[in-house]
Chain A
Amino acid sequence: MLENSFGPVPLQAYLIVAAFLFCTGVWGLINSRNAVRVLMSIELMLNAVNINLMSFSSYIDGSVIRGQVFSIFVITVAAAEAAVGLAILLSLYRNRVTIDMESFNLLKW
């Protein structure tokens, strides 16, 4: 059925799942009006990238696994980004009393 020794799931299946997750995240990032949902969409996109890194690391780079190290760094940066993003959101909410993305136009020219 399949030529590799990695079981029944091919590499492409993981890539397809990751691509779908990424596109869902992009759509949510563009169309969400709730600022918390925008942050959630960013987390979805980061997870899609992590799935790609992990599947390549397991299927193509199985002896050195650089992809796993990279995904650990991505997880670290995502945690920092979530903390700072939600702090910015709280500070915006105190100033504007809304979390509608369309009303954050303080920097618009």
Chain B
Amino acid sequence: MNIAYSTELICFLILSAVIVSGSLAVVLLENIVYSAFLLGGVFMAVAGLYLLLNASFVAAAQILVYVGAVNVLILFAIMLVNNKEKLKPIKGLKTRKFISGGVCGGLLILLLRVSITTKWNLPGPTSIGEEATERIGEHLFTDYLLPFELASILLLMAMIGAIVLARRDVSIPPAYINDLNNQKSLSDKKIPLLSENTIK
């Protein structure tokens, strides 16, 4: 085993340890701000796995989109809604956690069994390595042209939709905002979710 092999193995082990422990911490930690920063760490470790798989373009896209956009967006959302509220205790929460943990553990065992026992068609054709970026460009502008254009329309729709949804005047009158006791206040009082001047 030469030095390149052992380096790749060590890199993979470190990255997968970061992914596994980071994802567990994202789900389990109490403080949501720690979770958000650890989520950025998980995204960067996944980008490192992409680099190990000879996909530098997708690794760069992962860093740009996930760490640069999605994670920052999540942090902004946490800052906007973080009010340290006390969650009401629900009965049966522990049982629910155990049952869902059992279900997810079963799903994990199923996935592991499938991925280990299946005879994958290995070794496949030789990897094209660093030509991958050019090949992705060829794919995007020949046989995947329609999904590419649809993705641009989807991004435009998501941008307009996010602006419309998060606008300040999409709101109920301030007298009813703190009405926490009556959960049905919106439907009882017939207040439209969109006020009249936003529809025009």
Contacts and interface: CB of A to CB of B under 8 A. Distances in A.
B5 A7 contact: yes
Nearest to B133: A68
B127 A62 contact: yes
B128 A62 contact: yes
Given A68-B136, A69-B136, A75 B66 contact: yes
Contact of B46 (A26, A27, A51): A51
B158 A24 contact: no
A13 B12 contact: yes
Contacts of A84: 158, 161-162, 165
Please classify the interface of chain A as helix (H, G, I), strand (E, B), loop, or mixed, using the class held by over half of its residues: helix
B87 interface: yes
A44 B46 CA distance: 10
Interface string B46-61: 1001101111011001
Contacts, number: 271
Kindly state the interface size class of chain A when it binds its partner. 35 or more
Interface in A17-62: 17, 19-28, 30-37, 39-41, 43-44, 47, 50-51, 54-55, 57-62
Interface residues of B, number: 96
Interface in B124-161: 124-128, 132, 135-136, 139-140, 144, 147, 151, 154-155, 157-159, 161
Given A54-B55, A68-B58, A91 B27 contact: no
Please classify the interface of chain B as helix (H, G, I), strand (E, B), loop, or mixed, using the class held by over half of its residues: helix
19 contacts: A4-B122, A7-B5, A8-B5, A15-B111, A23-B111, A26-B104, A36-B32, A40-B26, A47-B66, A51-B46, A58-B55, A59-B123, A79-B65, A81-B158, A83-B158, A86-B162, A94-B171, A97-B178, A103-B183
B85 interface: yes
A12 B115 contact: yes
Interface of B: 1, 4-6, 8-9, 12, 16, 19-20, 23-24, 26-27, 32, 35-36, 39, 42-43, 46, 49-50, 52-55, 57-58, 61-62, 65-66, 69-70, 73-74, 76-78, 80-81, 83, 85, 87-88, 90, 96-97, 100-101, 104-105, 107-108, 111-112, 115-116, 120-128, 132, 135-136, 139-140, 144, 147, 151, 154-155, 157-159, 161-163, 165-166, 170-172, 177-178, 180, 183, 186-187, 193
A19 B115 contact: yes
Contacts of A27: 27, 100-101, 104
